[in-house]
Amino acid sequence: MKNTANSGENFGKVIFYTDKGGKTGVEVQIDRETLWLSQKQIAVLFGTKRPAITKHLANIFKSGELREDSVCSILEHTAADSKTYKTAFYNLDAVISVGYRVNSNRATQFRIWATNILRRHLVDGYTINQKLLKAKEEKFLAFQRAIKLIETVRASKPLEYQEAMGLLDVIRDYSRALGLLDDYDHNRVSVKGVSRGSGFRLTYELALKAVAQLQGGGSTLFGREKDKSFASSVATIYQTFSGKELYPSAEEKAAHLLYFVVKNHSFVDGNKRIAAALFLWF
């Protein structure tokens, strides 16, 4: 199976799909202007077993309806046992093709939902931001010119304009903030000043020991796992895509682990406290 994935910059952005009856729900990942699901997720989506999905995909590729190397990407992930596994993910074209063979009604519902999600993600998230940026561009440039003028005044009479100097420092800080927003709108923001390759690796076992130390003499429900989501969360922050970590810095791993623990309610009690403690530990 050919891996056609790019760098995976947006892979890992997850949204949740629930059918009209509220009985079927799957996590869907957005990347490269489409949606991606694994065979297991496709099976859940259409209410069937994974072997049936495998069979239908094989027939789709064999018939030439779709090219496997165009609709499939490989995600490497580290499981709770610290072993690395590879999982095939399929884009919206493949998912819908399978869906019409298995459950046409659900396939139609999912296609409508996915189309709307992608429209919002691509149009609202990009085009509208670009229009707003153009509308504010002149104000931004005028603001920068004003800053340069004040800098000139301050340089010529530095001892007589102490208050102006303080004001200028504030304005310059604000200007840097506007510059950051401008970089964000143009997708130029880069993560700086983070700890890459720190050597520390959090394991599920280490995390459980830390949780046990937090319990103290509190509630017996504190730190009691509700399901296996905590082990999955710890493994998820070390996922790789095309040989690159999805969350390369310690800060990114810490932030996502905090989010996963709180979102999944991995423990019967103490989720927020545990999440915060693990965040600080990183």
In tens, the pLDDT along 61-89 reads 999 989 998 899 888 766 667 677 788 99
Distance in angstroms (rounded) separating the CA atoms of residues 239 and 260:
14
| pLDDT at res. 57 | 95
Q: Would you kindly state where each structural domain of the chain is located, as residue ranges?
A: 13-102, 124-185, 204-281
pLDDT along the chain (282 residues), means of 10: 36 69 78 84 90 94 90 77 82 89 83 76 51 58 60 54 54 57 58 60 90 74 89 89 80 86 88 86 76
The confidence score (pLDDT) of residue 193 equals: 58
Instruction: List, in order, residues 6 or more apart from 54 with CB less than 8 Å away.
Output: 39
Residue 34 pairs in a beta bridge with: 31
Compute and round to an integer the Cα radius of gyration of the chain: 25
pLDDT value at position 277?
85
The pLDDT value recorded for residue 162 is 56
pLDDT of the residue at 218: 62
Identify which of 269, 160, 281 has the alpha carbon closest to the alpha carbon of residue 210.
281
Handedness of CA 268, 270, 274, 276 (dihedral sign): positive
Q: What is the pLDDT of residue 134?
A: 61
User: Would the pTM count as exceeding 0.75?
Assistant: no
242: left (phi over 0), alpha (psi -120 to 50) or beta: left
Structure confidence at residue 7 (pLDDT): 33
Which pLDDT belongs to residue 2?
A: 35
What pLDDT sits at residue 169?
58
Note the pLDDT tens digit of each residue in 233-264.
999 898 887 778 888 888 888 888 888 888 88
Residue 199 is predicted with a pLDDT of: 66
Residue spans of beta strands (DSSP E) within 57-121: 72-78, 84-91
pLDDT at 258: 87
Exposure string over 49-70, b if 16+ CB within 10 A, otherwise e:
eeebbeebbeebbeeeebebee
Q: In DSSP terms, which residues pair with 16 in a beta bridge?
A: 27
Q: Cα(265)–Cα(274) distance, rounded to whole angstroms?
A: 11
Whose CA is closest to 41, among 77, 11, 16, 66? 16
The string over 232-267, giving b where at least 16 C-beta atoms fall within 10 Å of a residue's C-beta and e elsewhere, is: bbbbbbbbbbeeebbbebbbbbbebbbebbeebebb
Which pLDDT value is given to residue 159?
44
